[in-house]
Amino acid sequence: MKIIMLGAPGAGKGTQAKMIAEKYGIPHISTGDIFRANIKNGTQLGMEAKQYMDQGLLVPDELTVKILLDRVAREDCAGGYVLDGFPRTIPQAEVLDEALTAQNEKIDYAIDVDVPDENIVKRMSGRRACLKCGATYHLEHIPPRTEGICDSCGSGLVLRDDDRPETVLNRLKVYHDQTQPLIDYYSRKKILRTVDGTMDMQDVFHAITAILG
């Protein structure tokens, strides 16, 4: 099963994608996580991506598409995957579709996790991330067992640079301009499913598994 997660930054795509990946035994692929790992390791790609990410802008399609296509070509993706944060532009979606069509494959579902802008800034300021393993927490809604420490790997948790309120507003604007058009794109392909992302995490997951079966 091949699944795309759509939704504003902070809507809960990553949280749900991890749960989907575990339940269905498929890899969770986050382009944001791939970029952050590259930044942490000081690679050329990381240095280029960081310039855009810090401003709340999208990393250019040329860079992003190649990384994603390489990743989904790996063996662990043969049985499907859940994409979190890709595609974020119409050209990205078109390149993915072309690559899949060439192999007689297709995306099964695009799941839009719908959360109004008013809720987003609050979610982001409370988000704490583990840059080592990619786990995400929320100070109020989804706290770690020990304050400031990742449940999964024991590393320290941080407020991401791009989760500061000034940058979040830029990211929301970029989302509405460049990413939201994908909702129509997948709706026309009849694979769009929308879930109410304001519910609590388990209820959102329940709504998603009702769709995926």
Residues with a known catalytic role: 13, 88, 127, 160, 171
Spatial distance between the Cα atoms of 165 and 121, rounded to a whole number of angstroms: 7
Residues that bind ligand ADP (CB under 6 A): 7, 9-15, 30-32, 35, 52-53, 56-59, 64, 85-88, 92, 123, 126-127, 136-138, 141-142, 162, 171, 200-201, 204
Interacting span for Zn ion (CB under 5 A) from 26-34, 97-105, 146-154, 184-192: 146-154
Q: State the alpha helices, DSSP H only, in the chain.
A: 13-24, 31-40, 44-53, 61-72, 90-102, 117-126, 165-174, 181-188, 201-212
Q: Which of residues 34-53 bind Zn ion (CB under 5 A)?
A: none
Q: How many CA atoms lie within 13 A of 157 on its CB side?
A: 19
Q: Which of ligand ADP, Zn ion, none does 11 bind, CB closer than 5 to 8 A by kind?
A: ligand ADP
Q: Which of Zn ion, ligand ADP, none does 71 bind, CB closer than 5 to 8 A by kind?
A: none
Q: Which of Zn ion, ligand ADP, none does 133 bind, CB closer than 5 to 8 A by kind?
A: Zn ion
Q: Which of ligand ADP, Zn ion, none does 130 bind, CB closer than 5 to 8 A by kind?
A: Zn ion
CA 166 to chain centre: 20
Spatial distance between the Cα atoms of 196 and 58, rounded to a whole number of angstroms: 25
| CB 161, CB 82: distance < 8 Å | no
Spatial distance between the Cα atoms of 213 and 207, rounded to a whole number of angstroms: 10
Residue type, 50: K
The verdict on 158 binding Zn ion (CB under 5 A) reads no
Residue written as token pair 């999208």: 58
Neighbouring CB atoms inside 10 A of 202's CB total 9
Complex with ligand ADP: residue 104 or 124, whichever CB lies closer: 124
The verdict on 29 binding Zn ion (CB under 5 A) reads no
Q: Which of Zn ion, ligand ADP, none does 52 bind, CB closer than 5 to 8 A by kind?
A: ligand ADP
Complex with ligand ADP: residue 104 or 139, whichever CB lies closer: 139
Please give the structure tokens belonging to residue 5: 């997660």
CB of 5 to ligand ADP, least distance (A): 7
Spatial distance between the Cα atoms of 39 and 108, rounded to a whole number of angstroms: 32
The verdict on 146 binding Zn ion (CB under 5 A) reads no
Complex with Zn ion: residue 3 or 150, whichever CB lies closer: 150
Q: Residues in the site for Zn ion, rule: CB under 5 A? A: 130, 132-133, 135, 150, 152-153, 155
